[in-house]
């Protein structure tokens, strides 16, 4: 076992404890960035002037009437920028644009003594526009060849040969929209300048180091002149990975020019109309199956709807391409990716980061094709799960393939899948207007940043003379429980009780050059760094203790604040006594820790390599009931088995799984972004600007019966204390909800009906899907390019086929040319 993953006796990691700030969250005492405003004197408030066109040149801006509004102090425009007028890392996001690229785009910002004055004055700024044609949909963008950034191509094997060999070939299209992050705390920044000209920005950001970098660029300063702190976020979900930078820069610029603190906080409508969302995707696909329903070939072109600027669209697309096969072995694969430029907000990271958009392609294909193949969808999925020795289309071996099968068996077993399938058949036979269905879907999600350089983390651990410990690390807390885990890691590595350790807010002047807290890697990277720092201190303390015990330093033990030694009869030393002695012996009691993930390699030009440290695995079983008159539905029961390695903090992990699943279910079933696509004067305006029109999941959408288990015997060798990342992967477990709805809708039609279900599967969408089944027109919108001469239904085995049989199937010789 590696020293990184090995746990000592009595570790604090693995204990089920509440989130470190849970009581502060629920009592309202937890401070968020904007809560600092009332504690700060003479704060100015910022409000944007937003474009009323989706695409236009700004020909004139007149501010005199606005400046006359009482309380207005200054209006920030491009002329005020001392450095680079750009808010992004790709230099395609002017902070003050002369060409507005989406409806709601900020043109300039008003600073005033009160928020009301700033808002009123913003309404009095007169802007002249020269309207330009706007592209609102990904299909319009494809037709106009409006693309931006890289166009990755991933290939393995020979798809043409695969289609030749296939008994069944189908093709079709699939398009779905994005998702609003709807973090409870909207974007916020508070900037101040001290007597030395040092800029201090409190920002709700997942990536303080990059916020610092962008602010420095805009202001024409060096990084050491700008400090960014993030106390915590009221949710980020990827939406605060890159988007906070421009808002922080506006606040900082305003603060420098006025000498007063500047606060910028978007209200919900500003946030929804200005900040980026999850990318919608369009895909065209062609798939080949053999006579037994094994996937032989997949060809796809996937195009993301990126909005006006690149932002994180390239890495999001790369992850989509790398997850197109989800958990299934496909010998021959050819995928092209494109990024559409549209006149919308700049779409960005969102939990899963393109992974879900890629995985949906194959899950949608399997859901639509299973009935056409005459095989149960659960059976089709299980039959295609990865087996031993198989590699992903980009060439990484799926070493933990057996965990997929184990999670599958456990989720189906604990949910009584086979029995319920029979009960559902009986129920459906006797209920004409209500149908039920049960579906099961797997998740295999790669952990690490695709860009190798980001896979590093840092920490600063301070031990005081009295034995108390203060830790800093490079990660940010957004509710996911990273700080809780880091406290547990430090307590474990130092051998002290949890109460001995405190954690200080994330700041760029404590730990520099950090990566975004993203890609679910927060605990892996910062945990490695915290552990490293603690171990440096422990190694320095060992000789001090060894002297007392008269033993070899290696024989000293640290356990819950008690220091003892093997083979010594001397009294154990309290931890605080040891740290005091160490101080007087002039032993350094603080350390900077560092960690980088080893063994990663990735070639983005060929889309090959082993970009992921490991895969997180999971399986969800979901049962739904659909009403035939309205399309309304209920989620009756969900069973999840998810692989978090040896959990660092089981309560936190279960919370992440439940939350991720519900957030995914929201996207699958309710949440719908609607832009005005008409040619009218409001073309490009986001029509769903608030919770009144953008429907979020709430308690009533929770599954009536919800069971989450952590996969057992899941130690992860080579990751901090044997754990795995958990933040994003569970979102994709929610695919099971959509697949269950698809099957329930199909149950209104004759046997073998294949249903093309829109995403989100709103009650209306489900109604139209079941209506197509009922009217006997359900071919899933799939073209049948090739069918076996005498289409025999594929022998459908029991969905709970024994593992041994599945392994045997996987060991069949693979088609020629199938290995990279
Ligand atoms: N959980 C909560 N409560 N709030 C969040 O904003 N963000 C998710 C996930 N879980 C999020 C969350 C996303 S997008 C990521 S990448 C991870 O948490 C980031 O944190 P981690 O790397 O510490 O898992
Ligand atoms: Mo998460 S989408 O990687 O911030």
Span 513-550, pLDDT tens digits: 999 999 999 999 999 999 999 999 999 999 999 999 99
- The pLDDT-based confidence of 1 (bands split at 50, 70, 90) is low
What is the distance in A from the centroid of ligand 2 to the CA of 241?
A: 7
Does ligand 2 come within 6 angstroms of the Cβ of 316? Answer: no
Q: What H or E segment, with its residue span, contains residue 441?
A: strand 434-447
Instruction: Answer yes or no: is the C-beta of 351 below 6 A from any ligand 1 atom.
Output: yes
Q: Residue 816: pLDDT above 90?
A: no
Q: Which residues contact 812 (CB under 8 A, 6 or more apart)?
A: none
Nearest bound ligand to the CA of residue 356? 2
Closest ligand relative to 319 C-alpha: 2
Give distance in angstroms: CA of 350 to centre of ligand 2. 5
Nearest atom, ligand 1, residue 526 CA? 23
Find the 242 Cα to ligand 2 centroid distance in Å.
10
Helix (H, G, I), strand (E, B) or coil at 305: strand
Q: Please state, in angstroms and rounded to a whole number, the distance separating the CA atoms of residues 214 and 204.
A: 15
Ligand nearest to the CA of 236: 1
Query: Ligand 2 center to residue 368 CA distance, Å?
Result: 29
Can the peptide bond before residue 509 be classed as cis, meaning omega within 30 degrees of 0?
no
Q: What is the 3-state secondary structure (H, E, C) of 108-177?
A: EEEEECCHHHHHHHHHHCEEEEEECCCCCCHHHHHHCCCECCCCCEEEECCHHHHHHHCCEEEEEEEEEC
* SS3 label, residue 201: strand
- Report the half-sphere exposure of 684 (CA within 13 A, side-chain side): 26
Task: Report the pLDDT averaged over residues 166-174.
Answer: 98
Decide the pairing of beta strands 188-193 and 262-265.
Answer: antiparallel
SS3 247: helix
pLDDT of res. 795 = 54
Residue nearest ligand 2's atom 4 by CA: 238
Cα separations in angstroms, 232 against 209, 381, 633: 15, 40, 37
How far is ligand 2, taken at its centre, from the CA of residue 420, in Å? 36
For residue 620, give every residue at least 6 positions away whose Cβ sits within 8 Å of its Cβ, in sequence order, or none: 411, 440, 441, 443, 638, 639, 640, 661, 733, 734, 735, 736
C-alpha 450 – ligand 1 centre gap (Å): 17
The finding on whether 393 has its CB within 6 A of some atom of ligand 2 is no
pLDDT beyond 50 at 809: no
Check residue 451 and give its pLDDT: 85
The closest alpha carbon to 132, from 56, 58, 54, belongs to 56
Does any ligand 2 atom lie closer than 6 A to the CB of residue 351? yes
Quote the ligand 1 centre to 480 CA distance (angstroms).
5
- Give the Cα separation of 536 and 660 in Å (integer): 36
The pLDDT assigned to 720 comes to 98
If you write DSSP's letter for every residue of 402-434 in order, what string do you get?
A: HHHHHHHHHHHHHTTHHHHHHHHHHHHHH-SSE
CA–CA gap between residue 171 and residue 296 (Å, rounded): 14
CB 236 less than 6 A from any atom of ligand 1? yes
* Nearest ligand to residue 727 Cα: 1
d(CA 499, CA 451): 37
CB 484 within 8 A of CB 498: no
53: nearest Cα among 679, 680, 682, 675: 682
Q: What is the pTM of this model?
A: 0.95
pLDDT of 284-317, one tens digit each?
999 999 999 999 999 999 999 999 999 999 999 9
Residue 479 near ligand 1, beta carbon < 6 Å: yes
pLDDT band at 794 (very low <50, low <70, confident <90, very high): low
Q: CA–CA separation, 134 vs 679, rounded Å?
A: 10
Q: What pLDDT shows up at residue 793?
A: 54
Whole-angstrom distance, CA of residue 741 vs CA of residue 761: 8
Question: Is the pLDDT confidence value at 811 over 70?
Answer: no
Residue whose CB lies within 8 A of the most ligand 1 atoms, among 727, 731, 732, for a mutation test: 727
Instruction: With cut-offs at 50, 70 and 90, classify the pLDDT of residue 777.
Output: confident
Determine whether 314 is an active site residue.
no
DSSP state of 499: G
| Residue 206 near ligand 2, beta carbon < 6 Å | yes
Report the distance separating Cα 788 and Cα 785, nearest Å. Answer: 10
Q: For 352, left (φ over 0), alpha (ψ -120 to 50), or beta?
A: left
Q: pLDDT tens digits, residue range 397-408? A: 999 999 999 999
* Integer CA distances (angstroms), 810 to 227, 379, 389, 587, 798, in order: 54, 14, 9, 58, 17
Q: Which atom of ligand 2 is nearest to the CA of 349?
A: 2
Q: Which residue matches tokens 């719908």?
A: 672
pLDDT digits (tens, 9 = 90+) for 16-67: 999 999 999 999 999 999 999 999 999 999 999 999 999 999 999 999 999 9
Distance 311 CA to ligand 1 centre (A): 19
Whole-number average pLDDT of the chain: 95
**Mutation to probe ligand 2, out of 347, 518, 663, 730 (largest number of atoms < 8 A from CB):** 518
The CA-to-CA distance between both ends of the chain, in Å, stands at 30
SS3 labels along 739-786? HHHHHHHHCCCCCCCECCCCCCCCHHHHHHHHHHHHCCCCECCCEEEE
Percent of the chain whose predicted confidence (pLDDT) is above 90: 94
* CA 427 to ligand 2 centroid distance, Å: 41
CA atoms within 13 A on the CB side of 591: 20
> In whole angstroms, what is the distance from residue 4 CA to residue 720 CA?
5
pLDDT (average), residues 449-466: 95
Residue 518, ligand 2, Cβ within 6 A: yes
Establish whether residue 347 lines the binding site of ligand 1, counting it when its CB lies within 6 angstroms of any ligand atom.
no
Rounded-to-integer distance, Cα 757 and Cα 761, Å: 7
Distance of CA 267 to the CA centre of its chain: 23
Question: Please, are residues 214 and 249 in contact by the beta-carbon 8 Å criterion?
Answer: yes
Q: Is the CB of 350 under 6 A from ligand 2?
A: yes
* Residue tagged active-site, from 213, 299, 477, 728: 728
Instruction: Kindly state the tokens that stand for 61.
Output: 């801006």
For tokens 């992440």, the residue is 656
pLDDT (tens digit, 9 = 90+) per residue, 643-692? 999 999 999 999 999 999 999 999 999 999 999 999 999 999 999 999 99
The Cα–Cα gap between 477 and 41 comes to 27
Residue 474: CB within 6 Å of ligand 1? no
CA 462 / ligand 1 centre spacing (Å): 26
Binding site membership of 149 for ligand 1 (Cβ less than 6 Å): no
pLDDT given for residue 21 in this prediction: 98
How is 537-565 classified by DSSP, letter by letter? HHHHHHHHHHHHHTS-GGGEEEETTEEEE
Residue minimizing CA distance to atom 8 of ligand 1: 237
- Cα dihedral sign, 262-264-265-269: positive
Ligand 2 atom with the shortest distance to the CA of 520 = 3
Measure 205 CA to ligand 2 centroid, in angstroms.
Answer: 12
Mean pLDDT of the region 376-399: 98
**Residues 326 and 362 sit within 8 Å (Cβ to Cβ):** yes
Tell which residue, 348, 344, 346, 347, has the closest CA to residue 685. 344
**Ligand 1 pocket residue status of 659, Cβ below 6 Å:** yes
What confidence tens digit (pLDDT) does each residue in 311-363 have? 999 999 999 999 999 999 999 999 999 999 999 999 999 999 999 999 999 99
Region for residue 603 given its phi and psi (left: phi exceeds 0; alpha: psi -120 to 50; beta: otherwise): beta
Confidence band of 445 (pLDDT split at 50, 70, 90): very high
Q: Is the pLDDT of residue 176 over 50?
A: yes
pLDDT at 505 over 50: yes
Above 60 in pLDDT, residue 169? yes
Which ligand gives the minimal distance to the CA of 354?
2
Distance CA 252, CA 562 (A): 48
pLDDT at 452: 87
Question: What number is the average pLDDT over the span 486-496?
Answer: 98
**Predicted local distance difference test score (pLDDT) of residue 808:** 44
Q: Is 523 a pocket residue for ligand 1 (Cβ < 6 Å)?
A: yes
Calculate what percentage of the chain has a pLDDT beyond 70. Answer: 96
Give CA separation, 457 vs 212, 479, 592, in Å: 17, 20, 11
Q: What is the C-alpha to C-alpha distance for residues 660 and 666, in angstroms, rounded to an integer?
A: 10
Nearest-atom index, ligand 1, CA of 206: 19
- Cα(173)–Cα(690) distance, integer angstroms: 31
The answer to whether the CB of 114 falls within 8 A of the CB of 297 is no
**Angstrom distance (rounded) from CA 368 to CA 779:** 8
- Ligand number, closest to the Cα atom of 731: 1
Order of all β-strands in the sheet with 126-131: 99-100, 56-62, 126-131
pLDDT at 202 over 80: yes
Residue nearest to atom 10 of ligand 1 (CA): 727
Q: What is the pLDDT of residues 237-259, one digit of tens each?
A: 999 999 999 999 999 999 999 99
Q: What atom of ligand 1 comes closest to residue 183's alpha carbon?
A: 6
Instruction: Read off the pLDDT of each residue in 272-281 and give the average, rounded to a whole number.
Output: 98
- Which residue stretches of 468-572 are H helix? 482-494, 522-549
Residue recorded with tokens 């197509």? 772
Tell me the pLDDT tens digit for each residue of 711-757: 999 999 999 999 999 999 999 999 999 999 999 999 999 999 999 99
Closest CA to ligand 1's atom 18? 727
Residue 393 and residue 333 in contact, taking contact as beta carbons nearer than 8 Å: yes
Report whether residue 205 contacts ligand 1, using a CB cutoff of 6 Å: no
pLDDT digits (tens, 9 = 90+) for 217-242: 999 999 999 999 999 999 999 999 99
Average pLDDT over residues 565-594: 97
β partners of residue 61: 127
Total H helices, total E strands in the chain: 20, 30
Tell me, what's the pLDDT at 797?
A: 42
DSSP designation for 815: P
Q: Specify the pLDDT at position 309.
A: 98
Q: What's the pLDDT score for residue 792?
A: 54
Query: 728 CB less than 6 Å from ligand 1?
Result: yes
């Amino acid at each position: 076992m590696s020293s990184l993953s090995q746990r000592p006796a009595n570790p604090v990691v693995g204990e089920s404890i509440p989130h470190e700030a849970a009581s502060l969250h629920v009592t309202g005492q937890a401070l968020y960035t904007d809560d600092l405003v009332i504690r700060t004197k003479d704060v100015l408030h910022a409000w944007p002037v937003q474009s009323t066109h989706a695409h236009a040149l700004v020909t004139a801006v007149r501010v005199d009437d606005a400046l006359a509004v009482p309380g207005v102090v200054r209006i920030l425009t491009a002329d005020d920028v001392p450095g680079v007028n750009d808010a992004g890392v790709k230099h395609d996001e002017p902070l003050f644009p002369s060409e507005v690229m989406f409806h709601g785009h900020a043109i300039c910002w008003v600073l005033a003594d009160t928020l009301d004055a700033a808002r009123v004055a913003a309404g009095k700024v007169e802007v002249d526009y020269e309207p330009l044609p706007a592209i609102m949909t990904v299909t319009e963008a494809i037709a106009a060849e409006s693309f931006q950034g890289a166009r990755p191509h991933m290939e393995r094997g020979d798809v043409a040969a695969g289609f030749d060999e296939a008994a069944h070939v189908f093709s079709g299209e699939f398009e779905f929209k994005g998702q609003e992050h709807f973090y409870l705390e909207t974007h916020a920044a508070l900037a101040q300048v001290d007597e030395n000209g040092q800029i201090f920005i409190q920002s709700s950001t997942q990536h303080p180091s990059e916020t610092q970098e962008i602010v420095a660029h805009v202001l024409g300063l060096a990084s050491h002149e700008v400090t960014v702190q993030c106390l915590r976020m009221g949710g980020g979900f990827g939406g605060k990975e890159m988007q906070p930078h421009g808002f922080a820069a506006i606040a900082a610029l305003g603060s420098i020019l006025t000498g007063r603190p500047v606060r910028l906080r978007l209200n919900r409508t500003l946030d929804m109309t200005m900040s980026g969302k999850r990318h919608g995707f369009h895909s065209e696909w062609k798939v080949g199956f053999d006579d037994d329903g094994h996937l032989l070939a997949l060809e796809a072109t996937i195009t993301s709807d990126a909005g006006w600027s690149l932002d994180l669209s390239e890495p999001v697309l790369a992850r989509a391409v790398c997850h197109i096969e989800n958990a299934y072995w496909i010998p021959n694969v050819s995928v092209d990716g494109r990024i559409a430029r549209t006149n919308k907000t700049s779409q960005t990271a969102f939990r899963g980061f393109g992974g879900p958009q890629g995985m949906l392609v194959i899950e949608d294909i399997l859901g639509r094709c299973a009935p056409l193949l005459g095989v149960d969808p659960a059976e089709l999925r299980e039959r295609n799960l990865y087996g031993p020795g198989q590699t992903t289309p980009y060439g990484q071996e799926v070493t933990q393939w057996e965990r997929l099968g184990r999670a599958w068996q456990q989720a189906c077993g604990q949910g009584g899948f086979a029995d319920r399938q029979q009960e559902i058949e009986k129920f459906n036979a006797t209920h004409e207007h209500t149908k039920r269905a049960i579906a099961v879907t797997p998740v295999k999600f790669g952990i690490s940043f695709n860009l190798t350089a980001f896979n590093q983390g840092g920490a600063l651990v301070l031990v005081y003379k009295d034995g108390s410990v203060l830790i800093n690390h490079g990660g940010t807390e957004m509710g996911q429980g990273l700080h809780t885990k880091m406290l547990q890691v430090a307590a474990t590595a130092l051998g002290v009780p949890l109460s001995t350790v405190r954690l200080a807010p994330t700041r760029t002047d404590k730990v520099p050059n950090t990566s975004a807290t993203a890609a679910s890697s927060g605990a892996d990277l910062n945990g490695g760094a915290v552990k490293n720092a603690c171990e440096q201190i422990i190694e320095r303390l060992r000789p001090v203790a060894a002297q007392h015990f008269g033993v070899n330093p290696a024989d000293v033990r640290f356990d819950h604040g008690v220091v003892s030694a093997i083979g010594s009869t001397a009294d154990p030393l309290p931890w605080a006594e040891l740290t005091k002695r160490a101080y007087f012996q002039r032993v350094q009691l603080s350390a900077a820790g560092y960690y980088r993930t080893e063994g990663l390699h990735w070639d983005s030009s060929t889309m090959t390599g082993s970009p992921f440290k490991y895969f997180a695995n999971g399986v969800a079983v979901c049962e739904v009931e659909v009403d035939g008159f309205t399309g309304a539905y209920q989620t009756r029961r969900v069973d999840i088995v998810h692989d978090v390695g040896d959990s660092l903090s089981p309560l936190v992990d279960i919370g992440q799984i439940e939350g991720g699943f519900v957030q995914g279910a929201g996207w699958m079933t309710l949440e719908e972004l609607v832009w005005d696509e008409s040619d009218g004067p409001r073309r490009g305006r986001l029509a769903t600007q608030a919770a009144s029109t953008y429907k979020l999941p709430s308690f009533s959408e929770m599954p009536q019966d919800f069971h989450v288990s952590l996969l057992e015997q899941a130690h992860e060798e080579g990751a901090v204390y044997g754990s795995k990342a958990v933040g994003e992967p569970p979102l994709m477990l929610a695919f099971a909800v959509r697949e269950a709805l698809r099957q329930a809708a199909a149950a209104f039609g004759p046997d073998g009906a294949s249903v093309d279900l829109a995403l989100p599967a709103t009650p209306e969408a489900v109604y139209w899907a079941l209506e197509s089944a009922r009217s006997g027109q359900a071919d899933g919108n799939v073209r049948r390019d090739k069918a076996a001469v005498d289409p025999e239904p594929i022998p459908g085995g029991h969905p709970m086929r024994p593992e041994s049989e599945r392994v045997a199937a996987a060991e069949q010789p693979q088609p020629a040319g199938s290995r990279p």
